[in-house]
Structure 1
Amino acid sequence: MDLLQLRYFQTVARYEHISRAAEELRVAQPSLSRAIARLEADLGAALFDRQGRRIRLNQYGVIFLRHVDRALSELDDGRRAVREARDTGLGRVSVASETLLTITPLLGSFRTAHPRADVRLFQSNVQEMDRQLRAREVDFCVASQPLSGANFEAVELDREEVLLAVPRGHRLDGRESVTIREIADEPFVTTRVGHWQRALLDRLFASEGLTPLVSCEGDEPAASQDMISAGLGIGLIPAVSRKVGSHSRVPVAWVRVAAPDCLRVLTLVWNRDTHLSEAALKFREFTTGRPFVTHHLPEPDRE
């Protein structure tokens, strides 16, 4: 077996789909199938169960994948270590976040403090962040939902209140607070399943035995405030959104939600088995060694 076969196997095992794996690897499907067949012949065991055009990783494949992931990760860490020793900079730090609005000020401050660091930023939902950490594709995730893994470590960065944003002139405009039952029939603008805003909305309604009415859902949390302002519904928005960037000028009214856990908790999560460059170590120290700067809202009011 060779390194290329192992990378082919890893990708096919992730997708359990030859054509999708071939597309990502940019190789012809027949060539990929032959490479997997040669690997299985070398091992003396089939790694996938095949049913027509569908394939599924079998028990031997699961065992082998665990070792392949570890071996390829070690090789990738070795390459990074060599690059860092060769380069004059601090190396690279890769960060994934559910929304870019939250992480941008932090990364900007870090780059100012460490201009030689190479910073890479990814926008990912919670499922993708979990995969990226396990595959060691990123060094850190700034997550608003729990990420669990045997090798994951996390530090809480901040917790802030989440408010209800409503269009100006809405019946709730001017209210100090509302209960979940008072907004049970209101259409909500929110994110798709997998994002923290949707998870919070579903959890708050489930605690009252209710299901939210979703009128609009998307993948970009920062767009919710614009859609609420346009009258497409109401939505849960973190307090920081009132004060950061252009959204501070989007005309909506703000109301508190009478629920004790209507909060967003931000954590910095990393895989302790991942090699961290000097830049990544400095980012962790920079992020966890100082208060996480967000713009909190003291009292809801009209803007």
Structure 2
Amino acid sequence: MDEQTLRIFLSLAETQNTRDTAAELRINQSNVSRALARLEDEVGMALFSRHGKRLELNANGLAFRADAAGVLDAVESARRHAELIADEGRLLRVGFLHSVARWMVPDVIQRFRALRPDVRVSLRQGFARDLYGWLALDTIDVALSTAPLATSATSDDIGWLALAEEPLCIAVPTGHPLATASGPVDVRALAGRDFIGFSRIAELRTAVIGILDEADVTVNVTFESSEIDTMRSLVAGGLGVSILPRTPGRDDPGVVYLPLEPQRVRAIGIAWSTTAQGSRYAKELVTALRER
């Protein structure tokens, strides 16, 4: 039983699907299935009930989940202490969404290195729920993410500064009948069309489903992904339309972005814990970003 196996188990407890866990952890789906089989063989009991392709924690799995999470928390705490000792405290731990890896992460890290060239930066990628969980556990110092949910139990302990806005747009391939629209497009124009959607582990899934439901629009979901770059490529290839955030200053060949009516945006910013000891460098970075 190793750290990766426990991470796979905890992810499966959330996604209830080997495909979504494979996407979340960026490993092969077959590796997920084999890891689960080894784990259940090692503990000597089934941890999930099988309902077709869906997995649901049984009583054994529910009991095991708390212990597995505790083990990983201890591993992260030990790693944190080792990093601090090795770097004599000169370390800033940054978590980030995959979708901001190419544009926001380099800019923020360059700003920090100009401010503190003597401090090492470690990076960790995850979904929004992961990032806020890591902030609460003090395993990262800052997160480049969407805003914390107001209903989150930890939202009162999290500071957040908006840095940019990405408008949510209808994304269609070049040459699509909607591509020549001269202004905002009503989402009802997507009714019945092949649609590239977000998988259940992506934080934008709820927002996009809400937009479609609000307009009482039914689409034909042909593929789901947690990777925005993958979804852009599928749209460009003519395999469907989608609703995607448009990154400021970025061009995506083969994709035409049409503003939604009414307008919707996704705010991206930097989050930090207001209660954890954390790194003093986190506060310095936030201050610098406020003053930019």
Matched, 1:251 2:254: yes
Secondary structure in structure 1 of the residue aligned to 2:180: coil
* Cα distance in 1 between the residues matched to 2:198 and 2:61: 32
CA distance in 2, matches of 1:67, 1:252: 44
1:162 aligns with 2:168: yes
Alpha carbons 1:168, 1:229 under 8 Å: kept: yes
Aligned in 2, Cα 1:195/1:16: closer, same or farther, shift over 3 Å?
A: closer
Equivalent of 1:203, from 194, 207, 210?
A: 210
Equivalent residues of 1:16, 1:56 under 8 A apart: no
Query: Is the radius of gyration larger for structure 1 or structure 2?
Result: 1
TM-score, normalization by structure 2: 0.66
**Equivalent residues of 1:97, 1:103 under 8 A apart:** no
**Structure 2 match to 1:184:** 191
1:32-55 deviation per Cα after TM superposition (whole angstroms, max 9, x unaligned): 99xxxxxxxxxxxxxxxx95xx15
Does residue 101 in structure 1 map to residue 106 in structure 2?
A: no
Distance 1:124 1:15 in 2: 12
How many residue pairs match? The answer is: 247
Name whichever of 264-273 and 103-112 sits farther off: 103-112
Report the more deviating stretch, 75-84 or 251-260.
75-84
Residues of 2 paired with 1:83 and 1:270: CA distance?
23
Distance 1:160 1:231, change over 3 A: same
Specify the alignment match of 2:51 in structure 1.
none
Asked if residue 149 in structure 1 is aligned to residue 153 in structure 2, the reply is yes
Query: In 2, distance between residues paired with 1:201 and 1:72?
Result: 36
Distance 1:72 1:192 in 2: 29
Query: Residue 188 of structure 1 contacts residue 215 of structure 1 at CA under 8 Å; is this kept in 2?
Result: yes
Contact 1:154-1:267 within 8 A present in 2 as well: yes
Q: What CA deviation, in whole Å up to 9, does each residue of 1:138-195 have, x standing for no partner? A: 2222222534233222222232322222111111011022111121222222331232
Match for residue 125 of structure 1 among 101, 124, 127: 127
Following superposition, the deviation at residue 217 of structure 1 comes to 1.6
Instruction: Report % sequence identity.
Output: 16
CA gap 1:228/1:119 in 2 versus in 1, 3 angstroms: same
TM-score (norm 1): 0.64
Q: Which runs of 5+ in 1 are unaligned?
A: 1-6, 34-49, 291-303
User: Residues of 1 paired with 2:229 and 2:255: CA distance?
Assistant: 14
The one-letter code of the counterpart of 2:257 is W
Q: Structure 2 unaligned segments of length 5 or more: list them.
A: 14-31, 45-57
Distance 2:197 2:73 in 1: 38
Match of 1:44 in 2: none
User: SS of the counterpart of 2:258?
Assistant: strand
Q: Judge conservation of contact 2:92–2:141 (CA < 8 Å) in 1.
A: no
Measure how far apart 1:91 and its partner are: 1.9
Report matched runs for 1:69-84 at 5 Å. 82-84=85-87
CA distance in 2, matches of 1:66, 1:272: 23
2:278 maps to 1:276: yes
Do the aligned partners of residues 206 and 173 (structure 1) sit closer, same or farther apart at CA in structure 2, a change above 3 Å counting?
A: same
Aligned equivalents of 2:82, 2:220: Cα separation in 1: 50
1:227 deviation in Å? 1.3
8 Å Cα contact 1:133-1:270 kept in structure 2: yes
In structure 2, the residue matched to 1:140 is 142
Determine the C-alpha separation between the residues in 1 that align with 2:73 and 2:194: 47
Q: Is the 8 A contact 2:95 2:126 kept in 1?
A: no
Q: How far has the Cα of 1:231 moved from its partner?
A: 0.1
Offset of 1:228 from its aligned partner? 0.8
User: Could you say which residue in structure 2 is the equivalent of 1:218?
Assistant: 225
User: 2 CA distance for matches of 1:161 and 1:268?
Assistant: 18
Which deviates more from structure 2 when the two are superposed, residues 187-196 or residues 176-185?
A: 187-196
Q: Does the CA-based 8 Å contact 2:163-2:268 persist in structure 1?
A: yes
Cα separation, 2, equivalents of 1:206 and 1:249: 27
In structure 2, relative to structure 1, the CA distance for the partners of 1:65 and 1:149 (3 Å cut) is: farther
Q: Which amino acid aligns with 1:207?
A: E
